[in-house]
């Protein structure tokens, strides 16, 4: 690679050519403050926080976009540039509420951190403020416009990563807002509720809808049996909210903390992930035998299901009829388990702890309700919300001894653990489908072709002499690309896994905000979480869903057989086209 010589703060450095000033400074260990910039998104140089002084230039330049060149003399920390950054930030804050200590992002707010970094210690200007306007129409995402600083990262992640374009800037000047088309509410828009906008928002302008108060109230309700379930990817991320490095599996601490919070039973969504595999692998084998459409596409991801209904209604018959693991668990708890403990379903409350904000919407889907119309899953809270509840209840999470999930719905296999990472459902399904179809053990159960952080992956496996071609996409932008291929060439694949969030559930919209002054939506963070899940799979003695003894017992005692009558009643569902219909921008590369 070519290099250039440049001066940064009066010292000479040899730097790879082709970098921006910001990248060059990052490479020598100087992190220039930044706000609207994100390495995964296009650069707009809008916020001007990252300005630096360059000798010979009339004005300060935005380091995020300005290329470094031979002999350039850059100063990142002069009095003048520090003062200018402070003025800029003061003007941004001028149109922002002063309620930090009563704000949900207190302590984890990027804007607050930036003010501290820049050294802003007083607010001099008292100007006109944008009006308070809160869109809480959706069960998943709340948009509080009063806190929006128009950095635009949400707009970019929605269009450039997810290719959904649910929101954009509207109006201009002081009246500029970020809203869905026609100023509609989020609930009436094409928004899939994936929550990636929440992940990249530097303030509390976009947050999940918070149900923690409802859950605390429930925990104090003596008339209810309180049951928690925990998604795989929650356990490898929640530690980050307590200052524990990414990639530590905290499942035992979570189970312990939930008991201390007052849950009567703590179950594991990994149990129902195993159950999903039993049903989904059987469904795949049926479809391969001519009963139903191919390719079959997975249905676990709530954000993807909403995208299916609004962006790809023509593929509804291709999608597996299996409910998500969360909804399967809730169904089984209020039927099989209720019966076991001699309680009525109405006496039971299901709380799901998920890495996801779209799951809050899924819980309210009428087609997933119990027979009497009440929801199977009563509340969904995110990893972030649980972390706050644990702190709020004074539980010393880091130092808990830890305990197991409760039997029988807390036992799971390694196959279920990897549901949390892109390619995991595929891998788990192949392990079971292969063995159910061939009655022979699968020799190498690590199916590496579908592992890794790439947006689209493909592979194939031979089952009974037939080549089964599979593909995996994570992030809705990648999903659109993959489905474009499928629509042109429907024979190309037999089985497809789609997750709405980049990296799969571990990159979900409900995961802890990145650490102080770290990058939100960081691919490195996501891969640490993935490693922890794969390690947990490896360490599990049972790594195939169909070998889970609690699952075998559930079929013996209650369900009968996969795709049987009871399975269809409690574990399967159907989807319908929803409006408005979304527009998918075609990918540029041909």
Please report, as ranges, the residues that interact with another protein according to CB under 8 A: 159, 165-172, 179-183, 189-190, 580, 582-586
**Closest distance between another protein and the C-beta of residue 480, in Å?**
12
Q: What is the CA radius of gyration of the chain?
A: 25
Whose Cβ is closer to another protein: residue 192's or residue 298's?
192
At its nearest, how many Å lie between another protein and the CB of residue 169?
A: 5
Torsions phi, psi of 192, nearest 5? -90, 0
Paired with 255 in beta bridges are: none
Contacts of 301 (CB under 8 A, 6+ apart): 324, 358, 498, 499, 500, 501, 505
In the complex, the smallest distance separating the C-beta of residue 458 from another protein, rounded to whole angstroms, is 26
Residue 67 vs 580, nearer CB to another protein: 580
Q: Which is nearer to another protein, 302 or 310 (CB)?
A: 310
Least distance (Å) between residue 6 CB and another protein: 36
Contact 327, 549 (CB under 8 A): no
Report the nearest approach of another protein to the CB of residue 168 (Å): 4
> Least distance to another protein from the beta carbon of 204, Å?
22
Residue whose CB is less far from another protein, 190 or 275: 190
* CA–CA separation, 33 and 49 (whole Å): 6
Q: Contacts by 386-395 with C-beta closer than 8 Å and gap 24+? A: 386/234, 386/238, 386/254, 386/353, 387/238, 387/241, 387/242, 387/512, 388/212, 388/241, 389/212, 389/215, 389/216, 389/261, 390/257, 390/261, 392/212, 393/260, 393/261, 395/257, 395/260, 395/261
Please report which helix (H) or strand (E) contains residue 179, including its range. Answer: strand 177-180
CB of 474 to another protein, least distance (A): 22
- Beta strand extents in 421-518 (DSSP E only): 456-463, 466-474, 495-499
In the complex with another protein, the residue whose CB is nearer, 169 or 174, is: 169
Give the count of beta carbons closer than 10 Å to the beta carbon of residue 237. Answer: 32
| Cα distance between residue 45 and residue 62, in whole Å | 6
SS3 of 129-176: the string is: CCCCCEECCCCCEEEEHHHCCCCCHHHHHHHHHCCCCCEEEECCHHHC
Characterize 202-236 residue by residue with b for buried, 16 or more Cβ atoms within 10 angstroms of its Cβ, and e for exposed: bbbbbbbbbbbeebeebbeeeebbbbbbbbbbbbb
Q: Active-site positions?
A: 280, 283, 300, 320, 359, 362, 367, 505
User: For residue 383, which of 375, 391, 373 has the smallest C-alpha distance?
Assistant: 391
Nearer to another protein, 125 or 579 (CB): 579
Which of left, alpha, beta for 292 (phi over 0: left; psi -120 to 50: alpha)?
left
In angstroms, how far apart are the furthest CA atoms of the chain?
Answer: 80
- Whether the CB-CB separation of 91 and 125 falls below 8 Å is answered with yes
User: Nearest approach, Cβ of 179 to another protein (angstroms)?
Assistant: 8
With a CB cutoff of 8 Å and minimum separation 6, the contacts of 454 are: none
Q: Which of 562, 475, 565 lies closest to 275 in space, CA to CA?
A: 562
Of 276, 275, 233, the C-alpha closest to 526 is 233
Nearer to another protein by C-beta: 167 or 428? 167
**Quick check: bond before 408 cis, omega within 30?**
yes
What is the Cα–Cα distance from 459 to 471, expressed in whole angstroms?
Answer: 6
Please, what is the minimum distance in Å from the beta carbon of residue 576 to another protein? 20
CB of 199 to another protein, least distance (A): 19
Q: Quick one: 189 or 335, whose CB is closer to another protein?
A: 189
Of the pair 87, 168, the CB lying nearest another protein is at 168
User: Nearer Cβ to another protein, position 116 or 183?
Assistant: 183
């Amino acid at each position: 690679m070519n290099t250039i010589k440049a001066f940064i703060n009066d010292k000479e450095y040899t730097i790879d050519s082709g970098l921006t000033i910001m990248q060059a400074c990052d490479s020598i260990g100087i992190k220039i403050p930044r706000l609207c910039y994100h390495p995964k998104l296009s650069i707009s140089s809008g916020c001007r926080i990252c300005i630096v002084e360059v000798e010979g230039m009339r004005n300060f330049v935005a380091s995020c976009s300005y290329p470094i060149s031979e002999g350039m003399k850059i100063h990142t920390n002069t009095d003048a540039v520090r003062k200018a950054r402070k003025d800029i930030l003061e003007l941004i804050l001028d149109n922002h509420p002063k309620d930090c200590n009563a704000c949900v992002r207190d302590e984890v707010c990027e804007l607050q951190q930036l003010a501290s970094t820049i050294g802003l210690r007083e607010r001099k200007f008292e100007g006109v403020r944008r009006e308070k306007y809160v869109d809480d129409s959706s069960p998943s995402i709340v948009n509080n416009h009063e806190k929006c600083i128009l950095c635009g990262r949400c707009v970019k992640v929605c269009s450039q990563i997810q290719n959904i374009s649910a929101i954009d800037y509207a109006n201009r000047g002081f009246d500029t807002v970020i809203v869905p088309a026609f100023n509609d509410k989020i609930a009436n828009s094409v928004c899939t509720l994936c929550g990636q906008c929440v992940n990249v928002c530097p303030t509390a302008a976009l947050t999940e809808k918070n149900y923690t108060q409802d859950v605390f109230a429930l925990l104090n309700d003596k008339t209810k049996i309180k049951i928690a379930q925990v998604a795989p990817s929650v356990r490898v991320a929640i530690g980050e909210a307590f200052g524990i490095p990414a990639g530590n599996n905290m499942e035992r601490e979570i189970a312990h903390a939930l008991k201390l919070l007052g849950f009567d039973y703590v179950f594991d969504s990994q149990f129902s992930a195993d159950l999903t595999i039993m049903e989904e692998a059987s469904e795949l084998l049926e479809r391969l035998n001519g009963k139903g459409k191919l390719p079959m596409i997975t249905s676990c991801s709530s954000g993807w299901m909403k995208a299916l209904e609004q962006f790809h209604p023509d593929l509804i018959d291709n999608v597996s009829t299996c409910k998500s693991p969360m909804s399967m668990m809730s169904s089984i708890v209020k039927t099989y388990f209720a019966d076991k403990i001699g309680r009525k379903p109405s006496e039971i409350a299901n709380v799901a702890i998920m890495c996801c904000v779209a799951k809050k919407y899924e819980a309210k889907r009428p087609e997933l309700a119990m027979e009497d119309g009440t929801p199977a899953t009563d509340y969904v809270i995110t990893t972030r919300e649980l972390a706050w509840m644990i702190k709020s209840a004074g539980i010393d999470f880091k130092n808990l001894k830890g305990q197991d999930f409760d039997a029988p719905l807390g036992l799971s296999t390694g196959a279920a653990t990897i549901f949390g990472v892109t390619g995991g459902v595929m891998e788990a399904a192949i392990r079971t489908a292969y063995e159910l179809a061939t009655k022979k053990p699968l020799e190498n159960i690590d199916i590496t072709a579908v592992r890794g952080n790439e947006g689209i992956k493909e592979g194939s496996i031979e089952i009974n002499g037939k080549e089964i071609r599979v593909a995996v996409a994570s992030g809705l932008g990648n999903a659109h690309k993959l489905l474009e291929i499928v629509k042109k060439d429907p024979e190309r694949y037999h089985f497809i896994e789609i997750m709405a969030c980049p990296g799969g559930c571990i990159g979900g919209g409900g995961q802890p905000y990145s650490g102080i002054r770290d990058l939100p939506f960081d691919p490195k963070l996501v891969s640490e979480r993935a490693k922890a899940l794969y390690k947990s799979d490896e360490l599990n003695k049972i790594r195939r869903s169909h070998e889970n003894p609690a699952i075998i017992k559930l079929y013996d005692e209650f369900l009968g057989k996969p795709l049987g009558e009871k399975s269809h009643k409690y574990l399967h569902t159907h989807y319908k086209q929803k409006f408005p219909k979304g527009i998918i921008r075609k990918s540029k590369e041909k």
